[in-house]
Amino acid sequence: MMGDHVLIDRAPGQDRALLMQGDRVVEVLADYHHARNLTGSIHRVKINRVIAGQNRAFARLADGTQVSVRLAKSDRVVAGAMSVITITA
Both 22 and 47 in one domain: the answer is no
Both 49 and 65 in one domain: the answer is yes
d(CA 29, CA 39): 19
Answer for the pair 79, 72: CB distance below 8 angstroms, yes or no: no
Provide the number of structural domains found in the chain: 2
Specify the DSSP class assigned to residue 64: S
**What number is the average pLDDT over the span 9-33?**
88
Indicate the pLDDT class of residue 35, thresholds 50, 70 and 90. Answer: low
d(CA 38, CA 53): 27
Both 47 and 18 in one domain: the answer is no
Indicate the pLDDT class of residue 73, thresholds 50, 70 and 90. Answer: confident
Both 29 and 50 in one domain: the answer is no
pLDDT digits (tens, 9 = 90+) for 47-62: 999 998 889 999 998 8
Percent of the chain with pLDDT over 90: 43
Both 24 and 52 in one domain: the answer is no
Both 47 and 81 in one domain: the answer is yes
pLDDT of residue 64: 85
Give residue 65's domain range.
Answer: 42-86
Answer for the pair 86, 42: CB distance below 8 angstroms, yes or no: yes
Helix, strand, coil % (nearest 5) of the chain? 5, 55, 40
Q: Does the CA dihedral 78-81-84-89 come out positive or negative?
A: positive
Both 31 and 52 in one domain: the answer is no
User: Taking 90 as the threshold, does the pLDDT of residue 78 lie above it?
Assistant: yes
